[in-house]
C-alpha cells in the first residue's frame, strides 16, 4: 500500500509562491551590481567590418564593453556552432555583437547606442527550402570543422547541419503494393515559449577566479559545462545557481545570456553584472521553436492498413542549430507517429537560415511533426472512406508492434488512450449545425514521444539524514512549475517512510546539489525520480546494516516502517531513523559508521545508438509516452472564427506519482497547444521579427479556455519509479492537429498550416464554396 | 529632479524621494524591495505587475512612481500577515492553481480586487477580471475554480 | 525612460499656462496606458510631463436630458462602463469602453486619452462618431467644441494644436427612441486591438454608421447612411450597404489582418450590427 506515491500531495513550494516570497533571478539584488545591455545586429546576414566602442567606453558610468573577440570559443550542446557574441559575421537580426556593463540600465542602454558597427551585408536565407539549394548562400562556411556529438550528421559545405535518416523495410515495394498513395504537405511557423518570467542572468567573479552565475535555467550543469568550455575554466571554478524559474518550456534550457555576463564580470573588479532581457529581447535573442515543412507520402491498402510511408521534414533551424540538430533527429526517429508501419523512409533535415535561433520547445519536434502526421492520417482516412478513429486503431502501435526504428514495444497504452479520449468527447455524438452560421465538429489526434537525450546521460541525488530524523534532499532537477520538487519529495518519503513535511528539497546549485543532465525531455520524474529512489534506498540500506549490527538480527529480518527500522518478528526490537542518523553508538560507547548520506545515480538502462544509414536500433530511447487528445470546435462560417469548446485528453503516465500535478500539467499543455493552434506565429519578414511583444504575439488568456476532461491511464513503464514515465511535453503535442481535424469535421475544410486563424478558415470556406 | 512623495504601502506609511522617470513597478521592486510584483512585459500586456491602488487593480508598469503620492497601495506582500494567508491564497493552494508561480502575485491581486468589488461573481465576471493576467503554465481553469471557490466559501460565512 | 520634469497642476488655468509655456516639449499625462509605453520605447520623449489627474472638474460624469452626457478628461474607461448613467442612456458607449484592453488597463485609461491617442482602431471612436459626440478643448486662447468626426486627422494624429488640451467629451442627447450596437473583431475575444470595429445607431428611419480600424481615421460612413435613409432593411439593401461601406473606407493589410479579410469582416459586422440594432433594446 503506497503512502505518498500516487497521492495528490500539496505542492511543497506553494506557500512560497502564493505569497510572492520566492525569488526569481531578477529579484536578486547583489551589492555593487552593474547592469548590462547588448548591441544587436540590424542585418540578417552580414560581415562585421569594424566595431568602434570608444565613445561608449568614455560614457560616465560605463565599466566594461566587450565584443566577440572577448568570447571567441565556439560552444554548443550537440554541435559547437555558436559564440555568445558574433565574431566576424552576424547571422540573424538581433544577434548580439557587443555588450556593455554600466552603473544603471539606462546608462548601459545609452552606451549601446554609442557603439558604432560597420557591416557588409551578405545575401541571406529565409526559408529552409531555399537554404538547401546548391547555390544558397552559406551561413556556416566552417560547418565541416565544428565539433559535434556522434549522433549528429552535419553536411559540410552546405546549410544542412543534420540529416537524420530512417530506412526501414522497402518503401518502393510498399508503395507499389498499396491500393492508394497520397501525398500531402504541411507547415508550422516559428513560435515562442513566452514563459511569463523573462530571462535574466547575473555573474560575479571572485578574487580566486571563481565565477558564480545566477540564472533561472533548466540545466545548471549543462550551463556550467558550456561556460567552462567557452571561457576555458575548470569546472570546479564555475558555480551555477538557479533561483526559482518562472516557466521554461525549453526556452531556459541550454545556455543563452549566461555567456554574456561572464566576460563582462571578469573585467569589473569583482562587481556582479546583471543582464535582464526585456520581452522584446526574449522574442529575438532566446530560443524559438523551429519552423518546419513536412511532406508525407502514404501508401495504404483499401482496408485501411498503412504499408508504406515517406516523410520528409525540413526544419528552419535559424542561425545556430547547436540544439536544433537534435530536434531534427527526434523528428526523424518518431517520424510516423504512434503507428505500426512496416516500410518507412524518413529524412529529417535541419537547415540553417538567417532567422532567430531555433531550439528546444516543449515537445522537441513532436508538436511540429504530429501536426502533419495526425492531419495526414485524417486526410487519408477520409479519402479511402474509413472513419478516422477506426483508422487509427487499426494502425496503432500495440504490444509487440515495432516502431520506425525497429524497436519492439511493450506496455503500449495508445489504443486505451484513443478509446478514453474518444469516450470523453462523446465521439459518436455530433451536433453539426448549431445555427445558420455556427457549425460544430470533433477531431482526434494521437501522439507519442520519447525523451530526446544522449543515451548515456545521468541523474543523481544526495539525501542527508539529520540528527532528528528529518531529511535534506539535494538534486539539480529544476522545478519549472511542473512540480518536480513535490514529486521527488514524495518519492523520498515513500522509500524512507518519513512524512513529506520532514523532507526539505534543495535544487539548482552546482557546488552543492549533485549532477543532473538537464530538466528537459520529460525525463525528470523518470530519471531523477529513480535517482532519488536509489538514494533513499541507499540510506535505508545503511540504516538496515546499522540496525542489524545493533540488534544482532540479519538485515532480511528487519524492515523500515513508519520512520523506524523494526524487526519483522520481534516488534520490541526497533530503532528510530533519528537514532541512526549520525551512525551507531555501540554498548561500549564507541561509535560506528558515521552520518547517513544516501547516494543515488541513474542512467536509463540499455539505450543504444541507431544505425547511421538506416536509423534502425532496438532500443534507441528510454521509454515512449503515448497520449491522445480530442477536440470539439464551433466555427463561425461568416467570420472564420474558431472556438474550442471542449478537449478530452488521455495520457499513459505509467504511474502518476502525483495525479493532481499530472492533470495540472496536461491542462497547461492543452492551453499552450491551443495557443499554437489558433493564434501563435512569429511574423518574420526578411529576418525581422515584426511582432516581438504580447500586443501582436497573442497567447491564450482565460477567456480562450475550453472545457477540459483529463484521464490518466497507467500501464507501467518497467524501468520507471513505480512505473512512471514522463508526460510534461506530450500533453501539448496533439492539441493543434486535434483542433485542425475538428475544423475539417465542422466545415469540410483542411488547413495545412498553423496557426488556424479566422482569416485562413474563412478563406478556406470561400474556396470550398466556389 | 527627485520628488518627495508620501503613500501607504501594505498598511505602512512611506515617504520617499523618487525620480519621475521611474515606474511604480520599478520603485516597488528596487526601492522598497517588494519583489513579489513582477515585470513580465513592461507594457501593460501580461498583468504580472498588477497591484491595487486605492483598491483598484492596475498595471504598475504603466504608472509612474510619483503618481503613487497620496495613494494606498497593496501588493502581494500585503495580503497575508505572516501567520495566516488570505482566503484567495488558500484557495489557490487548495486548487493547485500555481505552477511556476510567476503570474501568481498578479493573478491573486486581480482576484482579490474582483472579490472586493463583487463578492458573488459569476464565471464570466472572473474571466473578465483575469483577462489581463497571462499564465503560460496552468491553463487557467484551476485559477478560475479557486476564485469561484473563495467567493462560495465567503458566502457561507 | 529619458529624464523629464513632472508637473501636477491642480487647475485648468495652470495647465493651459504650462502647455503654452513649454509648447512641443510638454505632453499630458492622463491614464498613461499609451504614453508610458511610448516613453519606455523612446518613441515619446517629453521634457515636461503634465499630470492632469489632480484637476477636480475633470473627473466627473454629468448628465441631464437637455444637455446630454459630459465625461471629464480624467474619467477612466471602467468608470464609464460601470456608470449607470452611461449604461442606461448610451449603452453602446459603455460596451465599447469595456472592450479596451484589460480590466487593469481600464482602471487607468480614459476616454479622452483613447481619442487623443487617435489610433485608427480606437474602440471608443466608432460609438462616439455615431453618437455625434463633441470634444471640448481649451487653451490660453479660449474654449472650443469640435465635432468628433473632425477630431481625427490621420493615423495617431488629432486636431489639437500645441497648448490645447481636451477637458471633456460631450455626448448630446438623442431626442427620439434609438437603438445601437458596437461590434469589434479581434484576433482573440478579449484583450486585443480591433482589426475591425463597427458602431451603428438607429433613430427611427435614420441609421448612423461608423467604422474603426479600416481607414487612417475612424470614420462615419455618410454615403452609406444615405442609402439607408427611410428604407426598410432587407437582404438586398444590406448587400448594397456593405458594398458602399467598403468603398468609403481604406482597409490595409498589416501585421494583424489582411485587407481582404478586413473587407469580409466589415460586411459581416455591419450586417450584424444593423440587425442587432434594429432588433435591439430601445430607449
Cβ-nearest to A20 among B40, B77, B133:
B77
- Output the domain CATH number for residue A625: 3.30.365.10
Instruction: Name, in order, each residue with C-beta under 8 angstroms of C13's C-beta and a sequence gap of 6 or more.
Output: none
> pLDDT for B126-152, tens place per residue?
999 999 999 999 999 999 999 999 999
Q: What does A172-195 look like in DSSP terms, one character per residue?
A: HHHHHH-SEEEEEEEEE--B----
Q: Which grid coordinates are listed for A394?
A: 487499426
Residue C245 exposure: Cα atoms within 13 Å on the Cβ side: 34
Give domain status of residue A166, yes or no: no
Does A737 lie in the same domain as A635?
yes
Q: What is the pLDDT of residue C230?
A: 83
Does A576 lie in the same domain as A505?
yes
C-beta atoms of A279 and B136 within 8 A: no
**Chain B to chain C Cβ contacts (< 8 Å):** 80
Other Cβ atoms less than 10 A from the Cβ of C250: the count is 13
Q: What is the pLDDT of residue A271?
A: 98
Domains of chain B by range and CATH?
Answer: 3-78 (3.10.20.30), 87-156 (1.10.150.120)
Q: What is the pLDDT of residue B82?
A: 84
Q: What is the pLDDT of residue C280?
A: 60
- Burial status of residue C55 (CB atoms within 10 A of its CB: 0-12, 13-18, 19 or more): buried
* DSSP at A524: I
Give domain status of residue A686, yes or no: yes
Give domain status of residue A381, yes or no: yes
Cβ-nearest to B76 among A20, A27, A660:
A20
Does A264 lie in the same domain as A348?
no
Q: What does A338-363 look like in DSSP terms, one character per residue?
A: SB--SEEEEEEEEEE-SSSPB---TT
Does A614 lie in the same domain as A591?
no
Query: How many domains are there within chain A?
Result: 3
Best of C10, C44, C82, C104 to substitute, by most chain B Cβ atoms within 10 angstroms, is C104
Q: What is the pLDDT of residue A368?
A: 98
Cα B101 from Cα B93, distance rounded (Å): 11
Phi, psi of A652 (to 5 degrees): -90, 95
- Chain A residues with CB-CB distance to B76 below 8 A: 19-20
Listed in sequence order, the DSSP H helices in A450-514 are: 484-496
Cα A249 from Cα A244, distance rounded (Å): 14
User: Is A120's Cβ below 8 Å from some Cβ in C?
Assistant: no
Cα A162 from Cα A152, distance rounded (Å): 6
Beta pairing class for A597-602 and A591-592: unpaired
Cβ-nearest to B21 among C4, C105, C107:
C4
Beta strands of A637-719 (E only): which ranges? 642-652, 684-685, 688-689, 707-713
Determine the 3-state secondary structure of C118 from DSSP.
coil
Q: Which grid coordinates are listed for A13?
A: 513550494
Q: What does A603-656 look like in DSSP terms, one character per residue?
A: --TT--PPPTTT---S--SS--EEEEEEEEEEEETTT--EEEEEEEEEEE-SS-
Q: Which grid coordinates are listed for C166?
A: 481636451
> Is pLDDT at B157 greater than 70 in this prediction?
no
**C81: distance to nearest CA of chain B, Å?**
13
Does A625 lie in the same domain as A568?
no
- Chain B residues with CB-CB distance to C44 below 8 A: none
> Is pLDDT at C283 greater than 80 in this prediction?
no
Does A550 lie in the same domain as A581?
yes
Query: Smallest Cα–Cα separation from A629: which of A676, A697, A679, A661?
Result: A676
Distance set, CA A612 to CA A167, A329, A605 (Å): 10, 11, 21
Does A538 lie in the same domain as A629?
no
- Burial status of residue A515 (CB atoms within 10 A of its CB: 0-12, 13-18, 19 or more): middle
Q: What is the pLDDT of residue C228?
A: 87
| Residue ranges of chain A with per-residue pLDDT less than 70 | none
- For cell 456593405, name the residue: C242
Where a domain ends, among A230, A249, A276?
A276
Give domain status of residue A242, yes or no: yes
Q: What is the pLDDT of residue A170?
A: 97
Does A633 lie in the same domain as A756?
yes
Does A619 lie in the same domain as A533?
no
User: In what helix (H) or strand (E) does residue A510 lie, and over which residues does it extend?
Assistant: none
Higher pLDDT, A769 or C45: C45
Q: Which residues pair with A396 in a beta bridge?
A: A339
> pLDDT for B91-122, tens place per residue?
999 999 999 999 999 999 999 999 999 999 99
User: Is B29's Cβ below 8 Å from some Cβ in A?
Assistant: yes
Cβ-nearest to C36 among B3, B62, B127:
B62
- Chain C residues with CB-CB distance to A679 below 8 A: 187-188
Give domain status of residue A596, yes or no: yes
User: In what helix (H) or strand (E) does residue A378 lie, and over which residues does it extend?
Assistant: helix A366-384
Give domain status of residue A345, yes or no: yes
Cβ-nearest to B102 among A193, A247, A708:
A247
Other Cβ atoms less than 10 A from the Cβ of C235: the count is 8
Cα C111 from Cα C170, distance rounded (Å): 11
User: For residue A729, what is the nearest residue in chain B, using CA coordinates?
Assistant: B137
Q: Which grid coordinates are listed for A502?
A: 520532514
Q: Which grid coordinates are listed for C96?
A: 465599447
Query: Smallest Cα–Cα separation from A452: which of A527, A394, A511, A378?
Result: A527
Give the distance, in angstroms, between the CA of residue C166 and the centroid of all CA atoms in the same chain.
13
ipTM value of the model?
0.98
**C109: distance to nearest CA of chain A, Å?**
16
**A249: distance to nearest CA of chain B, Å?**
9
- Chain A residues with CB-CB distance to B112 below 8 A: none
Burial profile C257-282: b = 16 or more Cβ within 10 angstroms, e = fewer: beeebbbbbbbbbbbbbbebbeebee
Cβ-nearest to B45 among A483, A694, A703:
A694
Does A299 lie in the same domain as A248?
no
Cα B7 from Cα B63, distance rounded (Å): 14
- Chain B residues with CB-CB distance to A660 below 8 A: 96
Query: Smallest Cα–Cα separation from A478: which of A149, A221, A116?
Result: A221
Phi, psi of A634 (to 5 degrees): -125, 125
C277 within 8 A of C180, measured Cβ to Cβ: yes
C-beta atoms of C40 and B43 within 8 A: yes
Give domain status of residue A127, yes or no: no
Q: What is the pLDDT of residue C231?
A: 87
> pLDDT for C8-43, tens place per residue?
999 999 999 999 999 999 999 999 999 999 999 999
Helices (H) and strands (E) in chain A, counts: 17, 30
Where a domain ends, among A539, A574, A602?
A602
Domains of chain C by range and CATH?
Answer: 5-51 (3.30.43.10), 56-171 (3.30.465.10), 178-279 (3.30.390.50)
Q: Which chains touch A (3 or more CB pairs under 8 A)?
A: B, C
Give domain status of residue A176, yes or no: no
Question: Range of A642's domain?
Answer: 291-453+609-769
Where a domain ends, among A545, A571, A602?
A602
Does A488 lie in the same domain as A380?
no
- Output the domain CATH number for residue A114: 3.90.1170.50
Does A68 lie in the same domain as A40?
yes
Amino acid at each position: 500500500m503506497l503512502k505518498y506515491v500516487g497521492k495528490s500531495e500539496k505542492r511543497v513550494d506553494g506557500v512560497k509562491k502564493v505569497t510572492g516570497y520566492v525569488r526569481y533571478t531578477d529579484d536578486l539584488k547583489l551589492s555593487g551590481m552593474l547592469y548590462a545591455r547588448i548591441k544587436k545586429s540590424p542585418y540578417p546576414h552580414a560581415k562585421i567590418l569594424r566595431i568602434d566602442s570608444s565613445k561608449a567606453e568614455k560614457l560616465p558610468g560605463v565599466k566594461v564593453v566587450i565584443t566577440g573577440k572577448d568570447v571567441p570559443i565556439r560552444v554548443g550542446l550537440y554541435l559547437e556552432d555558436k559564440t555568445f557574441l558574433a565574431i566576424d559575421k552576424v547571422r540573424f537580426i538581433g544577434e548580439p555583437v557587443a555588450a556593455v556593463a554600466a552603473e544603471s540600465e539606462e546608462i548601459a542602454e545609452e552606451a549601446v547606442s554609442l557603439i558604432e558597427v560597420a557591416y557588409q551585408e551578405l545575401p541571406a536565407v529565409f526559408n529552409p527550402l531555399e537554404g538547401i539549394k546548391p547555390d544558397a548562400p552559406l551561413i556556416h562556411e566552417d560547418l565541416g570543422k565544428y565539433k559535434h556529438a556522434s549522433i549528429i550528421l552535419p553536411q559540410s559545405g552546405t546549410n544542412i547541419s543534420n540529416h537524420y535518416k530512417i530506412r526501414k523495410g522497402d518503401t518502393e515495394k510498399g508503395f507499389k503494393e498499396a491500393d492508394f498513395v497520397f501525398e500531402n504537405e504541411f507547415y508550422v511557423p516559428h513560435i515562442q515559449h513566452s514563459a511569463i518570467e523573462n530571462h535574466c542572468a547575473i555573474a560575479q567573479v571572485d578574487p580566486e577566479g571563481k565565477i558564480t552565475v545566477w540564472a533561472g535555467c533548466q540545466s545548471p550543469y549543462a550551463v556550467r559545462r558550456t561556460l567552462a568550455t567557452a571561457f576555458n575554466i575548470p569546472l570546479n571554478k564555475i558555480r551555477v545557481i538557479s533561483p526559482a524559474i518562472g516557466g521554461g518550456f525549453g526556452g531556459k534550457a541550454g545556455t543563452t545570456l549566461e555567456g554574456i555576463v561572464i566576460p563582462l564580470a571578469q573585467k569589473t573588479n569583482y562587481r556582479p553584472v546583471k543582464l535582464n532581457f526585456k520581452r522584446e529581447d526574449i522574442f529575438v535573442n532566446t530560443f524559438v521553436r523551429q519552423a518546419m515543412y513536412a511532406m508525407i507520402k502514404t501508401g495504404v491498402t483499401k482496408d485501411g492498413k498503412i504499408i508504406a510511408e515517406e516523410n520528409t521534414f525540413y526544419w528552419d533551424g535559424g542561425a545556430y542549430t547547436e540544439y536544433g540538430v537534435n530536434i531534427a533527429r527526434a523528428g526523424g526517429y518518431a517520424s510516423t507517429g504512434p503507428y505500426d508501419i512496416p516500410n518507412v523512409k524518413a529524412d529529417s533535415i535541419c537547415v540553417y537560415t538567417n532567422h532567430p535561433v531555433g531550439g528546444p520547445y516543449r515537445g522537441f519536434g513532436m508538436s511540429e511533426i504530429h501536426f502533419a502526421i495526425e492531419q495526414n492520417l485524417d486526410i487519408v482516412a477520409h479519402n479511402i472512406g474509413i472513419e478516422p478513429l477506426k483508422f487509427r486503431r487499426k494502425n496503432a502501435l500495440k504490444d509487440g508492434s515495432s516502431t520506425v526504428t525497429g524497436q519492439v514495444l511493450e506496455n503500449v497504452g495508445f489504443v486505451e488512450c484513443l478509446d478514453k479520449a474518444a469516450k470523453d468527447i462523446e465521439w459518436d455524438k455530433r451536433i453539426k449545425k448549431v445555427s445558420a452560421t455556427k457549425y460544430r465538429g470533433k477531431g482526434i489526434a494521437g501522439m507519442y514521444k520519447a525523451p530526446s537525450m544522449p543515451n548515456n546521460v545521468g541523474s543523481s541525488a544526495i539525501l542527508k539524514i539529520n540528527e532528528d530524523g528529518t531529511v535534506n534532499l539535494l538534486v539539480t532537477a529544476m522545478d519549472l512549475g511542473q512540480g518536480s520538487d513535490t514529486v521527488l519529495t514524495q518519492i523520498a518519503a515513500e522509500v524512507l517512510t518519513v512524512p513529506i513535511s520532514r523532507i526539505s528539497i534543495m535544487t539548482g546549485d552546482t557546488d552543492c546539489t549533485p549532477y543532473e543532465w538537464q530538466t528537459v525531455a520529460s525525463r525528470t520524474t523518470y530519471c531523477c525520480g529513480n535517482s532519488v529512489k536509489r538514494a533513499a534506498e541507499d540510506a535505508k540500506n545503511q540504516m538496515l546494516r546499522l540496525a542489524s549490527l545493533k540488534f544482532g538480527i540479519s538485515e532480511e529480518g528487519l524492515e523500515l516502517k513508519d520512520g523506524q527500522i523494526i524487526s519483522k518478528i520481534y516488534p520490541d526490537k526497533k530503532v528510530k531513523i533519528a537514532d541512526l542518523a549520525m551512525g551507531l553508538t555501540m554498548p561500549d560507547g564507541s561509535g560506528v559508521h558515521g552520518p547517513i548520506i544516501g547516494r543515488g545515480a541513474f542512467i536509463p538502462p540499455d539505450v543504444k545508438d541507431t544505425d547511421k544509414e538506416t536509423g534502425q536500433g532496438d532500443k534507441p530511447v528510454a521509454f515512449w509516452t503515448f497520449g491522445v487528445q480530442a477536440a470539439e470546435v464551433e466555427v463561425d462560417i461568416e467570420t472564420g472564427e474558431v472556438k474550442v469548446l471542449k478537449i478530452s485528453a488521455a495520457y499513459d503516465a505509467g504511474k502518476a506519482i502525483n495525479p493532481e500535478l499530472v492533470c495540472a500539467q496536461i491542462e497547461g499543455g492543452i492551453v499552450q497547444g491551443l495557443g499554437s493552434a489558433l493564434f501563435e506565429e512569429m511574423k518574420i519578414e526578411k529576418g525581422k521579427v515584426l511582432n516581438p511583444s504580447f500586443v501582436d504575439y497573442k497567447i491564450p488568456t482565460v477567456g480562450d479556455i475550453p472545457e477540459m476532461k483529463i484521464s490518466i491511464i497507467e500501464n507501467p513503464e518497467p524501468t520507471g519509479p513505480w512505473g512512471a514515465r514522463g508526460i510534461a511535453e506530450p500533453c501539448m503535442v496533439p492539441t493543434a492537429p486535434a483542433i485542425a481535424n475538428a475544423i475539417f469535421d465542422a466545415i469540410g475544410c483542411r488547413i495545412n498550416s498553423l496557426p488556424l486563424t479566422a482569416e485562413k478558415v474563412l478563406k478556406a470556406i470561400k474556396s470550398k464554396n466556389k | 529632479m527627485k520628488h518627495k512623495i508620501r503613500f501607504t504601502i501594505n498598511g505602512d506609511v512611506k515617504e520617499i524621494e523618487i525620480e519621475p522617470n521611474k515606474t511604480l513597478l520599478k520603485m516597488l521592486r528596487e526601492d522598497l524591495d517588494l519583489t513579489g510584483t513582477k515585470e513580465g512585459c513592461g507594457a501593460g500586456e501580461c498583468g504580472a505587475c498588477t497591484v491595487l491602488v486605492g483598491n483598484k487593480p492596475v498595471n504598475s508598469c504603466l504608472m509612474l512612481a510619483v503618481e503613487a503620492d497620496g495613494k494606498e497601495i497593496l501588493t502581494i506582500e500585503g495580503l497575508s500577515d505572516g501567520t495566516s494567508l488570505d482566503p484567495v491564497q488558500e484557495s489557490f493552494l487548495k486548487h493547485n492553481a500555481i505552477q511556476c508561480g510567476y503570474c501568481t502575485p498578479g493573478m491573486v491581486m486581480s482576484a482579490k480586487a474582483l472579490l472586493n468589488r463583487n463578492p458573488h461573481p459569476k464565471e464570466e465576471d472572473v474571466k473578465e477580471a483575469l483577462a489581463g493576467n497571462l499564465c503560460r503554465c496552468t491553463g487557467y481553469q484551476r485559477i478560475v475554480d479557486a476564485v469561484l471557490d473563495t467567493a462560495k466559501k465567503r458566502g457561507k460565512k | 525612460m529619458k529624464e523629464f520634469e513632472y508637473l501636477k497642476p491642480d487647475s485648468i488655468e495652470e495647465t493651459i499656462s504650462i502647455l503654452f509655456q513649454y509648447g512641443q516639449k510638454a505632453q499630458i499625462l492622463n491614464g498613461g496606458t499609451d504614453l508610458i509605453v511610448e516613453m519606455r520605447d523612446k518613441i515619446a520623449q517629453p521634457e515636461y510631463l503634465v499630470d492632469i489627474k489632480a484637476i477636480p472638474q475633470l473627473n466627473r460624469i454629468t448628465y441631464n436630458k437637455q444637455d446630454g452626457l459630459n465625461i471629464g478628461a480624467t474619467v477612466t474607461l471602467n468608470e464609464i462602463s460601470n456608470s449607470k448613467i452611461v449604461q442606461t442612456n448610451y449603452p453602446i458607449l459603455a460596451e465599447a469602453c469595456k472592450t479596451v484592453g484589460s480590466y487593469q488597463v481600464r482602471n487607468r485609461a480614459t476616454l479622452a486619452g483613447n481619442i487623443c491617442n487617435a489610433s485608427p482602431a480606437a474602440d471608443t471612436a466608432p460609438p462616439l462618431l455615431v453618437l455625434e459626440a463633441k470634444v471640448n478643448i481649451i487653451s490660453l486662447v479660449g474654449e472650443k467644441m469640435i465635432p468628433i468626426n473632425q477630431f481625427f486627422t490621420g493615423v495617431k494624429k488629432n486636431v489639437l494644436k500645441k497648448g490645447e488640451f481636451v477637458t471633456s467629451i460631450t455626448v448630446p442627447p438623442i431626442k427620439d427612441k434609438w437603438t445601437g450596437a458596437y461590434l469589434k473583431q479581434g484576433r482573440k475575444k478579449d484583450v486585443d486591438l480591433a482589426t475591425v470595429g463597427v458602431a451603428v445607431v438607429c433613430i427611427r428611419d435614420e441609421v448612423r454608421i461608423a467604422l474603426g480600424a479600416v481607414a487612417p481615421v475612424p470614420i462615419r460612413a455618410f454615403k452609406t447612411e444615405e442609402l439607408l435613409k427611410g428604407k426598410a432593411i432587407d437582404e438586398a439593401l444590406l448587400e448594397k450597404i456593405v458594398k458602399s461601406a467598403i468603398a468609403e473606407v481604406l482597409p490595409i493589410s498589416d501585421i494583424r489582418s489582411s485587407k481582404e479579410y478586413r473587407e469580409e469582416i466589415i460586411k459581416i459586422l455591419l450586417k450584424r450590427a444593423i440587425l442587432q440594432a434594429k432588433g435591439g433594446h430601445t430607449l
